[in-house]
């Protein structure tokens, strides 16, 4: 148990569906992340929230919409996805400073395995 919980663990959706992935961290961290892990590709950073503000959006298509209502919760809203969006979606959290160089150790959830039909 890493202190980061993701739900659901598995999700199958059609291209016209709308669904949401949820991440909750119990570590008191102030930064949260969404990553996409596809087969045979490096882990791709999608979004970063630091102190509830989005600080990074790595050119992610608008069919992925993140939401960070507080420092403990992170959502990824999905709509009109494509089959190539099928992947393992990982959430992580860390304790970061507002400025300067933080330690950046990230704690990951177990992921949501998404299949888009």
Binding site for another protein (CB under 8 A): 2, 4, 6, 31, 33, 40-43, 45, 48, 50, 55-56, 88, 90, 92, 94, 96-97, 99-111, 113
The residue written with tokens 């990951």 in the block is 108
Q: Which is nearer to another protein, 39 or 70 (CB)?
A: 39
The two tokens of residue 59 are 């050119």
- Cβ 12 to another protein, closest distance in Å? 15
List, in sequence order, every residue forming a beta bridge with 33; answer none if it has no partner: 48, 92
Give the span between the Cα atoms of 94 and 14, in whole angstroms: 33
Q: What is the DSSP letter of 80?
A: S
CB of 91 to another protein, least distance (A): 8
Nearest approach in angstroms of CB 109 to another protein is 5
Angle, CA of 110, 112 and 113, to the nearest 5°: 115
Nearer to another protein, 4 or 81 (CB): 4
């Amino acid at each position: 148990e890493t202190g980061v919980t993701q739900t659901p663990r598995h999700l199958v959706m059609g291209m016209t569906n709308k669904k949401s992935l949820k991440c909750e961290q119990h570590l008191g961290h102030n930064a949260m992340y969404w990553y996409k892990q596809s087969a045979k590709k490096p882990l791709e950073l999608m979004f970063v929230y630091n102190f509830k503000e989005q600080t990074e959006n790595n050119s992610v298509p608008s069919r992925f919409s993140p939401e960070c209502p507080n420092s403990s919760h992170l959502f990824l809203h999905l709509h009109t996805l494509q089959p190539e969006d099928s992947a393992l979606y990982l959430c992580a959290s860390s304790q970061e400073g507002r400025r300067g160089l933080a330690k950046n150790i990230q704690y990951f959830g177990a992921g949501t395995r998404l299949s888009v039909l």
